[in-house]
Structure 1
Amino acid sequence: MAPTATSETSAPHLTEHSITVAAPASAVYALVADVSAWPQVFGPTVHVEVLQDAPAEGGEQTLRIWAVANERVRTWTSRRILDPAARTITFRQLVPAAPVAAMGGEWRVEELEAGRTRVVLLHDYRAVDDDPAAEEQIERAVDRNSRAELAALKNAAELGDARDELHFTFSDSETVVGAAGDVYAFLDRADLWPERLPHVARLDLTEEEPGIQHMDMDTRSPDGSLHNTTSVRVCFEDRHMIVYKQLRVPVAMSGHTGRWVIESLGDGTVRATSWHTVTLDPEGVRSALGPEATLAEARALVRKALGTNSSTTLHHAKQFAEEARVGS
């Protein structure tokens, strides 16, 4: 539905997007309600933090969301009201990101016949100062992200129980006799990784604003081949944590997110941990590994490849921090 014309009272622009999903309404609603899964399910979503959670029977929830809109990472705080009985979730941005002056909407999950579901995603928005150029920019972002989110929701929901087999999380850790700030500094300065890490052949890093990084990286496999990935990172220096999402993933995956977490152990040491969450793409697995390849084989290969690179990075971060401690 096209946006309405702006009146003297600055009426919000309204949009509606919908899709039909071959999955039960309860399963579809659960995916929309579970924000912890959003970075894996929804392409534009980079990271979500729950500031106030809703009870199981529904109610109010407060979130902070980082997402890509018009090729930039935006962050905002939203309030959601979940109604599991009606299968609706209304949302309103409490702290919008410019050029958005106000943004809200609703998810409606409607049960159809034969186990199918219709999902309707509504938005209403206003631009700062009702600027026409900003309104057009917001409209493009809302349209692109709504279509992408609904398509991704359909894909995830229609996997059914198979999604559990495709989705997995793992971690690797190093204990460091050094300062958390030094470990964080090594991980934050990814622009220096080609000089510091043997598996990083090239890395272009841009930081459009403090703490928001875009990375375009070529990594070298043991056989000498190069693999390109692009990622967005959100860096929390005060918490010694970096979260990231790969925007371009290897062919065997449909999603890959991760985080670096540095925790003080209270005895002059810290634990640095690399977490990965991966969703495999069945067709991509067959394309990359052959038609007879199993998901178990793919999980093992992905675990080894990602874990080896993460462990190498952690080992060099450990050396950097421990040398800094000796030299201080």
Structure 2
Amino acid sequence: MSVERVHRMSHAVDAAAPTGVLYTLVADTTPWPLFLPDTVHVERLDFDGTTDRYSQWASADGTLRPSLWRRTLDARNRRVGFRQERPEAPVTSAGGSWSVEELAPGWSRLTLEQDITVAGNRTADVERVLASARTGAKSVLGRLGALAERWQRLDSLMLSFEESVRIQGPAEPVYEFLYRVGSWPGRVAHVVGADVTEERAGVQRTRLVSLGDDGLAYTTQALRVCFPAAGRIVFKQARPHPLLAAHAGEWSVEPDATGVTVVCRHDVLLDERAVERVMGPGTELARARRHVREVLGRESRATLEPAQQYARESVRSLRAV
């Protein structure tokens, strides 16, 4: 019986940012869907102040998959240790650490250490797994390094908000309407085209053609993960609105004794380079933020209104039976 070899890798990036900034980027998983291109959704499951456990939905090799992770956070030493629970074959174990060190005032190094074992130590499997891990590490480090160097204005580029509607009716038809995004053209005012593919139950890739304020059509593409038992659909725009670098969020249907509250949450990261190109020379970020809030808010309300109507029609149909 062969002993599985532990494959170790180390990658680092230097950034013009304080150590605390880089540590926060790896310690706080909440904004990862905006920061990491392949991450669609992250949800913390447990946290006791030092150790946490979270699920992460990310696209790997073109397929969206969930994974479970356990971490130990050491803010004092700027270090986060991590280990994957039940990794996907042929990987039998995967873990490592993030660490941050100061190089000079205002300059820091973020290092990612990884250790991986592969079942059977087969050369083809090892090479494929390590190549994927190497590519992913370099991509993530490059992204985090670039974000860290914008730390003084990062807050002004990020925006989170919600739109909601109260519906007197059952939750099931509302969730069904949100799930069946392919039926939105002709029902949702700004949506003129929709293509939906489902990789497996509850995991969708969508392509919507929408009309902007100027009457011109634009296309957005999204990955969606649906949790019907919880009344939730999380999403990330793979091709977001032209003003945005990243856009993620969630639809949630929250029932109570008299009806449901339907909430659409948006988390966005503005694309600095696109602001003047899209909105004109000299446009300030504050105006761009207001514009994005208005556009996405209006589109959300335009989707919630037919969802409300669909629920009413469903109730009437049931009563007529």
Question: What's the TM-score once normalised by structure 2's chain length?
Answer: 0.93
Judged with a 3 Å threshold, the aligned counterparts in structure 2 of structure 1 residues 54 and 39 are, in CA distance, closer, same or farther, namely: farther
- Output one character per residue of 1:94-150: Cα deviation in whole Å (capped at 9) or x when no partner: 122344332111111111113111111122223455454443443333223212211
Structure 2 distance, partners of 1:26, 1:170, is 26
Partner of 2:294: 304
Structure 2 distance, partners of 1:301, 1:98, is 46
Structure 1 distance, partners of 2:169, 2:314, is 8
Structure 1 distance, partners of 2:267, 2:166, is 22
Q: Does 1:34 align with 2:28?
A: yes
Structure 2 distance, partners of 1:200, 1:98, is 40
Q: Does 1:250 align with 2:244?
A: no
The secondary structure found in structure 1 opposite 2:31 is helix
- Output one character per residue of 1:265-297: Cα deviation in whole Å (capped at 9) or x when no partner: 321x10101111111122211221122101111
- Output one character per residue of 1:241-263: Cα deviation in whole Å (capped at 9) or x when no partner: 11111122233211111110111
Indicate which of 192, 195, 200 corresponds to 1:201.
192
CA positional deviation for 1:76:
1.0
Structure 2 distance, partners of 1:99, 1:301, is 47
Amino acid at match of 2:37: G
Amino acid at match of 2:20: S
CA positional deviation for 1:195:
4.3
Structure 1 distance, partners of 2:188, 2:242, is 24
Partner of 1:162: 153
Structure 1 distance, partners of 2:23, 2:225, is 28
Structure 1 distance, partners of 2:190, 2:124, is 44
- Output one character per residue of 1:171-218: Cα deviation in whole Å (capped at 9) or x when no partner: 111111111111111111112222432322222211112221111221
Partner of 2:59: 68
Contact 1:44 1:149 in 2 (8 A): no
Structure 2 distance, partners of 1:170, 1:63, is 23
User: Larger deviation: 128-137 or 315-324?
Assistant: 128-137
The secondary structure found in structure 2 opposite 1:28 is helix
Judged with a 3 Å threshold, the aligned counterparts in structure 2 of structure 1 residues 206 and 100 are, in CA distance, closer, same or farther, namely: farther
Amino acid at match of 1:305: V
Judged with a 3 Å threshold, the aligned counterparts in structure 2 of structure 1 residues 31 and 54 are, in CA distance, closer, same or farther, namely: farther
Amino acid at match of 2:293: R
Structure 2: any 5+ residue segments left out of the alignment?
none
Structure 2 distance, partners of 1:24, 1:179, is 50
Indicate which of 300, 315, 318 corresponds to 1:325.
315
Question: What's the TM-score once normalised by structure 1's chain length?
Answer: 0.92
Partner of 2:277: 287
- For 1:117-128, list aligned pairs within 5 A: 117-128=108-119
Structure 2 distance, partners of 1:198, 1:96, is 43
Structure 1: any 5+ residue segments left out of the alignment?
1-6
Partner of 2:41: 47
CA positional deviation for 1:41:
1.5
User: Larger deviation: 232-241 or 249-258?
Assistant: 249-258
CA positional deviation for 1:220:
1.7
Amino acid at match of 1:319: Q
- For 1:20-31, list aligned pairs within 5 A: 20-31=14-25
CA positional deviation for 1:162:
1.0
Contact 1:127 1:134 in 2 (8 A): yes
CA positional deviation for 1:77:
0.8
Amino acid at match of 2:38: P
Contact 1:93 1:102 in 2 (8 A): yes
Q: Does 1:175 align with 2:157?
A: no
Contact 1:205 1:214 in 2 (8 A): yes
